[in-house]
Amino acid sequence: MINLILFGPPGSGKGTQAERLVQKYGLVHLSTGSLLRSEIHDKTPLGLEAKNFIDKGQLVPDEIVIGMIDDCLEHHKDANGILLDGFPRTTTQAKALDKLMSMRKSDIDIVLSLEVDEEELIKRILERGRTSGRSDDCDESVIRSRFDVYNKETLPVANYYHEQSKLKPIKGIGSIDEIFGSISKEVDALAADKTEEPLS
């Protein structure tokens, strides 16, 4: 079983690469961004609250997303590995995740960090905004606020996992196939290591 996190700034390709990882490794995909968009689409009370934050380029409060992930982990407790995409985005979320995993006698194995420069990211997000219908993708000032939030609140999460020796930087510029090749190499190496671990 492999539990991994896809980490990176807005528009770095987490959703794009997650789809391929799910296909290749049969992981359960948990994307807090997609879960929140689906709540917004269904106009649930949680969705209506989340929309206020997302439209401004801010993070949705920790307790809301942590609760969502707790429910999903419970629902998928027999999964053959989890792929977290867009979560955790704060160190409070990262610490809560460690607790949720250890309560289920499990752990995060690897954090793949997609590295892309800001100008490329803005280009990608504006391009996506033309077709996605996402309110947070169309306005450059909202996109810039998402980067400010990322730098202030989310980047420290990379350090949190670096200190646990779980962080693997991945060059996130190039073709989608090339990037997936680099990601697969890391996941295959991890899977090989895990198979060699002696049974306890």
Contact pattern from residue 63 through residue 92 relative to ligand B4P, giving x for each residue in contact according to CB under 6 A and a dash for the rest: --x--------------------xx-x---
**Which is closer to ligand B4P, CB of 2 or CB of 149?**
149
Q: Contacting ligand B4P (CB under 6 A), which of 4, 5, 30, 54?
A: 54
Smallest separation (angstroms) from ligand B4P to the CB of 200: 33
Beta-carbon contacts of residue 120 (< 8 Å; ≥ 6 apart): 173
Give the span between the Cα atoms of 67 and 62, in whole angstroms.
8
Minimum CB separation of residue 77 from ligand B4P in Å reads: 20
CA-CA-CA-CA torsion sign (32, 36, 37, 38): positive
The only residue of 28, 53, 106, 184 in contact with ligand B4P, by rule CB under 6 A: 53
Size, binding site for ligand B4P by CB under 6 A: 26
User: What's the 3-state SS for 113-168?
Assistant: EEECCHHHHHHHHHHHHHHHCCHHHCCHHHHHHHHHHHHHHHHHHHHHHHCCCCEE
The two three-digit tokens of residue 44, written as one number: 């649930």
138 binds ligand B4P (CB under 6 A): no
Q: Where do contacts with ligand B4P occur on this chain (CB under 6 A)?
A: 8, 10-16, 32-33, 36, 53-54, 59-60, 65, 86-87, 89, 93, 124, 128, 136, 146, 176, 179
